[in-house]
Chains A and B, each alone.
Chain A
Amino acid sequence: MDRLRANFGFAFTLCIAWTLIAFLILPLLVVIPISFTPERYLSLPEGEYSLRHYETLFTDRMWRKGIIDSAIVALGASSLAICLGTICAIGCWKLSSALGETIRILALTPMIVPPIVHALGMYRVWVDFGMIDSYVGLILAHTMKGIPFVVISVSAVLSNFDPRLEQAARSLGAGPLTAMRLTILPNIWPGVLAGGVFAFAISWDEIVVALFLTQRNVYTLPRQIWDGIQDNISPAVAAIGVVLILATIIAVLGKMLWDRRMAARIRGAA
């Protein structure tokens, strides 16, 4: 009887949990029917479906520019963040623990500061540096936002890395950089890759800093979406929404399968 009550209690919890998941996911799915409407305004298709809004994404100059600019900026920013973040994580790991920890926390600040605060500061400094509305300017800004994610994921992998491997390489005559390249890098690349994907996603999605630092010359996808919502709520936003959600599903599923494979490999090795 008591066991039954416990099971009933958890079944009830599970019901609420699934309701919550429905609340998280279902409202997003509304973009699917809207994206197929034949009308120019926000509406549900009534018997007639059209791909015109998907076509807009590829034919309209501004949407195309948005996609291309976002790709340029996100690739640039994630590559830079990968380099800087990985170097920082390895350096902190090798330094004495208290100092390394302090530097690491400093490198994490861009993650926790409200975006509007750094957007204001960057705007003023970027004006001085002549980097407003330039690719370099936005790439640098997004690099700063991406570094913490690379530092976190590389540090996580490094905490499982055996430092004696590197010491062995050093005692066999390798210089400091060669030893790191040959022992650390081959072992931490899953963390580097994960951090890089994070940094890419952060930049691809970033809007607040972009609103301050860019005008017309650089025009990323989130800015285009922002305009699409503010001006006339264009159904093209629904079409890009469907594309982005599909990409997210593929990425998340890919990550889960990848984790499973890595776990199996570790189990196999042990």
Chain B
Amino acid sequence: MSDASQIAAAPNLPRMDRTQVTVWAMALLPIAVLSVFYFYPLIRVLLISVTEPTPGFGNYIDIFTSSPVRKVLSTTLWICVVSSSISLMLGYLLAYAIVHATGRWQSWMLLAVLLSFWVSILIRAFAWIALLQTRGMVNETLQAIGLIDDPIRFIRNPFGVILGMVHYMIPYAVLPLMANMRTIDTRYVPAARGLGASPFGAFWRVFLPLSLPGLISAGILVFIFSIGFYITPALLGGGRTTMVAEYIALQVNETLAWGQGTALASSMLFVVFTLLIVLGRIVKFRNMFGAA
């Protein structure tokens, strides 16, 4: 009896195992590759930050005490807060308009946003430089029509950096916001209006609260993104407005201060992951990434 059941089970057992093994291998093989070529480099960054030039947390103490580093960090913080708030506000407005626009217009607006989303960050920076440098098109035009005598300095300052960042980040705010707004029941606002709310009141007291989770998560996403900006500040800040990513690159390439550079990079990583955990409490990652 027991023999018979063993014989019956035997052909099935290895087959089940084979399926399990295949599935595990499929899930873990890419993770193994990522571990060697991605997570190991990240761990190396953390290790260098506590071993070079001398073992210990000296590099991290320097972050709080060295005045050039503190200046860079405060510049980064305020530029990130300003540029991501502006991107979020404008993005919300644009997403609202796209979600509520009628068919044909909606496709055209979406097309424009996607187009802007995909254009290379370098080409954008180039276009802004061509337009806004002291001998650029905007200044030459303003001078030609006699509106100004001396060229206005638009770039190589915080204004240029914020302009470039907002221009890049608006689509990154619009797309998740739109995905969120599409989940809001379209009957709520008319219901509020029917109950006597003004158009703005219906928006303010019904639509806005419903879209708040999307607004917060898009805000965190855009802010995380803004912290890492390197190309835009490097080209439009022109060495005068240095943000942390560019400063790290300078530390490593020019002064070979790997310890300082990696300590800053590790802190950046820490901030990003903390924000992600906060984000994870607000929305399910699955929904967010599924939407993007």
Q: Please list the residues of chain A having a beta carbon within 8 angstroms of any beta carbon in chain B.
A: 2, 5-6, 9-10, 13-14, 16-18, 20-21, 23-25, 27-28, 30-31, 34, 42, 44, 84-85, 87-88, 90-92, 94-95, 100-101, 103, 105-110, 112-118, 120-122, 124-125, 140-141, 143-144, 147, 152, 155-156, 159, 170, 175-177, 201, 205, 207-208, 211, 222, 225-226, 229-230, 233, 237-238, 240-241, 244-245, 248-249, 251-253, 255-256
Please provide the 8 A-B residue pairs with the shortest distance between their CB atoms, ordered closest to farther: A114-B228, A91-B27, A121-B41, A91-B26, A17-B97, A88-B30, A6-B199, A24-B116
Candidates A115, A156, A245; contact of B123 at CB < 8 Å: A245
Contact of B9 with A by CB under 8 A? no
CA distance A201 to B286 in the complex (A): 23
- Complex-state Cα separation, A91 to B19, whole angstroms: 11
Cβ distance A245 to chain B, nearest Cβ, rounded Å? 6
Residues B228 and A24 in contact, CB atoms below 8 Å apart: no
Determine, out of B32-40, B57-65, B67-75, the stretch whose residues face the partner at the interface.
B32-40
**B230 contacts chain A at the CB level, 8 A cutoff:** yes
> Is B130 a contact partner of A245 (Cβ separation < 8 A)?
no
* B50 CB–A CB distance under 8 Å: no
Task: Assess A225 versus B126: contact at CB under 8 Å? Given A6-B193, A17-B98, A208-B230.
Answer: yes
In the assembled complex, the CB of A89 is this many whole angstroms from the nearest CB of chain B, namely 9
Interface string of B14-56 (1 = CB under 8 A from A): 0000110011111111110110011111111100100000000
Contact A141 B37 (CB under 8 A): yes
Chain B nearest CB from A100 CB (Å) reads 7
> Told that A13-B100, A88-B30, A252-B111 touch, could you supply 14 new A-B pairs with CB distance under 8 A?
A24-B112, A27-B127, A91-B25, A107-B31, A110-B34, A116-B249, A140-B37, A143-B37, A159-B290, A225-B120, A225-B126, A240-B123, A253-B111, A256-B107
* B101 adjacent to chain A (CB < 8 Å): yes
Q: Specify which chain A residues have a CB less than 8 angstroms from the CB of B245 in the assembled complex.
A: 114-116, 208
B interface bracket (residues with beta carbon within 8 Å of A): 35 or more
Is the pair B26, A229 in contact by a Cβ cutoff of 8 Å? no
A229 adjacent to B97 (CB under 8 Å)? no
Known contacts: A20-B94, A120-B265, A176-B19. The answer to whether A103 contacts B230 by CB under 8 A is: no
Q: Point out the residue from A25, A107, A125 that lies within 8 Å of B34, measured CB to CB.
A: A107
Contact A110 B38 (CB under 8 A): yes
Tell me the complex Cα distance, A112–B97, Å: 28
The chain B residue sitting closest to A122, CB to CB, is B41
Which residue in A2, A121, A229 is a CB contact (below 8 Å) of B199? A2
Determine the chain A residues whose CB is within 8 A of the CB of B131 once the complex forms: 27, 30
What are 29 A-B pairs with beta-carbon distances under 8 A?
A9-B200, A14-B97, A17-B96, A18-B109, A24-B112, A28-B119, A28-B124, A42-B130, A88-B31, A91-B23, A94-B27, A95-B23, A95-B27, A107-B31, A110-B34, A114-B230, A120-B265, A124-B48, A152-B289, A201-B118, A207-B121, A208-B231, A222-B120, A225-B122, A226-B231, A229-B122, A237-B126, A244-B120, A252-B118
B18 A17 Cβ-Cβ under 8 A:
no
Contact of A90 among B19, B26, B42 (CB under 8 A): B26
Give the chain B neighbours of A24 by CB distance below 8 A: 112-113, 116, 167, 170-171
